[in-house]
Structures are given as C-alpha cells and as structure tokens.
A and B are shown apart, each in its own frame.
Chain A
Amino acid sequence: MKGGDLFAFAIGALRGHRLRTSLSVAGVAVGISAVVALTALGDGARAYVVREFTSLGSNLLIVIPGKVETTGAIPFGGVTHDLTVADARSIAMRVPGAVRVAPIAVATEAVHWEDRSRSVPILGVTAAYQRVRHVTVASGRFLHTTMAEGGGQELVLGAKAAHELFRGANPLGRIVRAGAWRFRVVGVMAPKGRSLGFDFDDLVFIPVKTAMRMFNRTSLFRILVEVPSADELGPVKRRVIRLLAQRHRADDVTVITQDAVLSAFSSILGVLTLALAGLASVSLSVAGVGIMNVMLVAVSERRREIGILKALGATNGQVLGVFLAEAVVLSTTGGLLGLAAGAAGVRVFVALYPSFPASPPVWSIAAAMGVAIAVGVGFGVWPARRATRLDPVTALRGR
C-alpha cells in the first residue's frame, strides 16, 4: 500500500465521521493556539523590556547616590554623601571614556500658564541630556545649560505637557510659572511615548542648578555617563567609582549598567515564558487525552471495519498504518488551525496594544507542532494497536 493511497484512504475515513473528526481537530487546535498565544505573550513581554531598556541607551552608566550591595536591584538605603553637579563635572573632566555626562535632578511641581496648570515631573538637566537620551526637539531648541553654568530660567516642554497647557497655542517665548519661579519656554519636545511605565511626554526640562535650588535639594537624582562602546562600560565604571570614592572619601555611590539590569529582567521574563509554555503544554496534553478518547471510540466503532479490511487481506501493519495516517492528518490539521488561530489572536492583541511586541517564538511553534503530532499519533494509534491484532472474525463481530 503506497503512502498516497494510505492518506487518501485515511482522509476518506475522517470525512466519513465529521463530528468526531472536527472534535479532535478542535481539541488539538485549542491546545496549539494556547501554546502559541501564551508563549507569544511571554516572549513579547521579554522583548518589550529589552527594547525599552536598550532605548534608554545601552552604552550608559548610571550613577546613583547611596550604596547598594547588588547591582541590578533598585537602590535604597541611607545616603551618606550628596551626589552633586560638581561630581558630574569632575567625572566629565577627569574620567577618560566618559564621553558625555548628564546630571539629573527630579521633582514634581505644578506648572502654570494663564489659568491652566498641570502637575508634571520637572527634570533638571543640562544640554548633554538630549544627546545622552537621544531625545529630539519638535520646535524651538533644547536647553543650552552646561554644568559650569547650570542655571537660568529657560524651560522645555514635553509634547503632552505642551499640549495640555497650551491647547494648540504656540508655547515658544511664553512665560510659565512653576512654584515661585518663572521660566521662558524655549522648546517643545517631539513625542517619545511611554517607557517602563513613565510618560516621557508629560514632563518639563529646566536647567539642573535652577532645579536644585528650586527643589531645595543638595543631591542629584542620578548622573548618566555615556561611554564610547559597551566594551568600555566596565573600565569606565571602575574609574567613576574610584574618582567618586576619592571625592567623597567613602565608597558611597552605586554605578549600574543597563546590561546588568537588562539581563536580570531578561532572565526573569525567560522563566515567565517557560512557565507559560508549561501551562500551554498542559492544555496540549488535555487535547491529547481528548484525541485518545475520540480514537478509542473510533476504534471500537470501527472494529467491524478493521475486521473487513483484515478479511480482505490487509496486514496488521497496514491497518495500523491507516489509523496512524488518520492521527497524523488529525493532529497536523488541528496543529495548523491552532497556529493560525493563535497567530490571529496575537495579531488582535498587537492591534490593541501596539507597543507590545508579542510574537510567538519559533521554538514554541516547532515544539507545539511536534508535541501535537506526537500526542495525536501516540494517543491515536495506541487504541488501534489492540484492535488490529484481533482475528478478523473477532473484529467483525464488532463488540
């Protein structure tokens, strides 16, 4: 019996039992689409975090006041020395490989224009911030503040903050108020979107020293240090730590690199994806048990057919081959439908949440299809094995 004939016969048999066939196909399809959708979400979450982190700049060192034991965790604990603009200047001047240095101070404050006001995060920065964080200005210009001067009463609006305050009016050259201070708007940022839960459009920038005075702060929030390449992260990090230890006479800052945070997140999310895949394979096994039930019924209903085939000279192997072919057809059809359904589901999800890069990883598709076929064949052929070994009369009695 040739392969083509075998499959033609198997497909004929499957079409003869539409309900049963569609039930088992549906079972496999549901299992596969679950695998595809869940791993797509898990992998999407990982890709999302990786992308967000790399968008922050992958050649960045982040200097944080205070000492924490493990890098990669959010630092907290007693701050012994302030991290100052002078520290940042010193890094820029004395650490080889510190290409750009951007000090940042942060506080939230209401910004007023005419009768409107909006409470937004105010970032105290220097001109270097724009280059280090790759942000672009939509109109006007960014701050010209340097670390040497660092003051002034200029302000740059984030895209959303500009829209909310000015409602279409041109903000450039206007005077806005923040607390007791007055600022002249010199620029509006291009939209950047949300990143890691923070809205980079709903904020304003002012010169860093002005910000420290206005917030009554002595310490920076952090200092970003750009290095020429990822290879230099390590050496530059050590130099920065040594320099600040000298200046503070204590080892009281934390320097983290993006990739340390990134790899921690990435491995956590990798585990998440695996867990989702595990969950999905449970549903796949349930589908397998479904196939087995359907096949058990099929085999007992078709004992007579097995008897007829054997009476006509089919060997045990050939009869088993028929059931095997049926199981393969069932599980591949179910698998392909499941892939299609899962992919469609992921598409809908991406359409609803465009910033979430959900796509099923190739390994999960391959594994899901492999498992579907293995499950279908294993569970499908096993019940047939016994029936094919019977003497034709025993099978023909159909009991």
Chain B
Amino acid sequence: MIELDDVCRSYTVGDSEVHAVQHVSLHIGAGEHVAIMGPSGSGKSTLLHILGCLDRPTSGVYRFRGRDVGMLSDDERSHMRQHEIGFVFQFFYLLARLTAGANVELPMLFAGVPKSERTRRATEALEAVGLGDRIHHRPDQLSGGQRQRVAIARALVMRPSLLLADEPTGNLDRSSAEEVMTLLERLRAGDRTLIVVTHDPEVARRAQRIIRMTDGRIEEERV
C-alpha cells in the first residue's frame, strides 16, 4: 500500500541544512499496524507528514497504492487527504469555535456531503468513540482524552484506508492514553492501515511492527 523509495526531507536553516529524514525506504502493506519510535528530533513527525500528504519529500519517491504522490496536483493531494487518509495530531487540532459535532463534520463539509447525512455520520462517529452525549460541547468543555477522541472520530468519519497518528497519547494521562489506544485498535477495522508515532513502549507493543528512527534514518525494524 505504501512504498517509500530513498525518501529525504531536509530544511535549510540559515546557512546549514537540517536533514530531518534521510534515505528512508519502506514498505507497509494494507491492514498493517505499525509503530514508529525514536528520540525527539529523529524525524518521526516529518516522515508521518510525508506519508499523510501534508508535506513533500525533498527527494525520493512516495507511492501510495502504486501511484507516485509526487506527481499529483494540489487538488489531487487534497482529494487523497480527504478520502484516503485520516490524521490524528498530538495537539488534537480541533477548531475551538466549533462543537465536537461540527468538528467531526468538517471533512464531510469539504467533501460536499449533504447536511442531514453529515449530522448522522458525525453522530455515529462520536458514538463510536464513546462521546455520543458530547456532540454539542466545544473543545474547551472537554478533557484532553475526550478531545483526542473527537479528533479520532473526525479522522475516521470519511472512512480512510490509512490512519496516521502522531503521538496521539503524548499529551494524555495514562488512563486516557489506554482508552485512546484501545479505541484506535478497535477502529482499525477491515484492512485499514494504522501508523502510530509514539514514545511510549506500552503503546508501541500493541503494534505488529516497530520502526525505530534516529537522526532521520530507519535504524532497525522489529516485527
């Protein structure tokens, strides 16, 4: 499903170049559950952003279902983010002015789903993450764990085939973290691929495969 071939991502900071991701080649099949671990600054987020079409590699090829993502137009990439990929961020990234329900509706809004169907699917998605009674709450009226569950509902409401989570439990206490991880695994229905970036060995242990990164390179893979 995912093929990376010698992918690099570097930033120019002043005169020097920072190589956030270096020569990464990787293959991830449909339905796999992968954890990416590594010290802070090792390039995990950068790699995940590239996989999620939120960023572009400086060099190398990223193929998603056999299609070279680098060749796609802006709108095609938007379409991919809309229909194929769900992204869960460490800092939730909910829109503060919108209710939980409206936040979950957002991806459908841009996909042109009619209002009645949006409401129904958002309700279903929030019920699936155990927040059926919080539809009308705004993010500042929810706990961190609840916010992340809203974000997960939002990431899954378009039924993407790839779910990416960047330290989804990084800002949560242990019990909320447990809840969120259980939820992610449960929602990994069918052949949905799940890639989780984490510092937490407990979280990583649940994956079928762990990729370790240091200094932008893949150090070791353990299955």
Contact = CB atoms under 8 A, between A and B. Distances in A.
Q: Which 3 A-B pairs have the closest CB atoms?
A: A313-B82, A16-B97, A392-B54
B106 to A, nearest CB: 5
23 contacts: A2-B112, A5-B109, A12-B98, A12-B102, A16-B96, A308-B95, A309-B106, A311-B52, A311-B54, A311-B93, A312-B82, A312-B106, A312-B110, A313-B82, A313-B107, A313-B111, A313-B158, A314-B110, A315-B74, A315-B79, A316-B75, A317-B75, A393-B49
Interface string A59-81: 00000000000000000000000
A313 B97 contact: no
Nearest to B160: A313
B81 interface: yes
Given A313-B107, A391-B54, A391-B56, A308 B93 contact: yes
Interface in B139-165: 154, 158
A21 to B, nearest CB: 12
A309 B89 CA distance: 13
Contact of B54 (A9, A314, A396): A396
Contact of A312 (B79, B115, B154): B154
Interface of B: 49, 52-56, 74-75, 78-79, 81-83, 87, 89, 93, 95-98, 102, 106-107, 109-112, 115, 154, 158
Interface string A333-366: 0000000000000000000000000000000000
B16 to A, nearest CB: 19
A194 interface: no
A19 interface: no
B93 A396 contact: yes
Instruction: Give the interface size class of chain A.
Output: 20 to 34
Contacts of A134: none
- A contact face: mostly helix, strand, loop, or mixed: helix
Contacts of A304: 93
Nearest to A395: B54
A311 B165 CA distance: 13
Given A309-B110, A311-B52, A316 B74 contact: yes
A119 to B, nearest CB: 74
Given A1-B110, A309-B106, A309-B110, A315 B93 contact: no
B128 to A, nearest CB: 18
B78 A15 contact: no
Interface in A6-42: 9, 12-13, 15-16
B196 to A, nearest CB: 17
Contacts of B109: 1, 5, 9
Nearest to A304: B93
B64 to A, nearest CB: 15
B93 A318 contact: no
B83 A313 contact: yes
A309 to B, nearest CB: 7
Contacts of A308: 93, 95
Nearest to B56: A391
Contacts of B79: 313, 315
Contacts of B89: 396
Interface in A284-321: 304-305, 307-318
Interface in A358-399: 389, 391-394, 396
Given A12-B97, A312-B154, A396-B93, A1 B112 contact: yes
Nearest to B85: A313
A2 B105 CA distance: 14
A393 B55 contact: yes
A311 B98 contact: no
A396 B90 CA distance: 12
Nearest to A392: B54
Given A310-B78, A315-B74, A393-B54, A305 B95 contact: yes
Contacts of A394: 55
Contacts of B102: 12
A304 B93 CA distance: 8
Given A1-B112, A315-B75, A13 B97 contact: yes
A29 B75 CA distance: 37
A315 B78 contact: yes
B33 to A, nearest CB: 22
Given A5-B115, A16-B97, A316 B55 contact: no
Interface in A151-175: none
B155 to A, nearest CB: 9
Contacts of A315: 74-75, 78-79, 110
Given A2-B112, A311-B87, A391 B55 contact: yes
Contacts of A2: 112
**Which of B49, B87, B96, B110 is most buried by chain A, counting CB atoms within 10 A of its CB?**
B110
Contacts of A392: 49, 53-55, 81
Contacts of A317: 75
Given A16-B97, A313-B107, A392-B81, 4 more contacts: A5-B115, A311-B54, A312-B110, A313-B111
B78 A313 contact: yes
Contacts of A307: 93
A396 B53 CA distance: 13
Given A311-B87, A313-B83, A15 B97 contact: yes
Contacts of B78: 310, 313-316
A309 B81 CA distance: 10
Nearest to B106: A312
B156 to A, nearest CB: 12
B176 to A, nearest CB: 22
Contacts of A314: 78, 82, 110
Nearest to A321: B110
Nearest to B75: A315
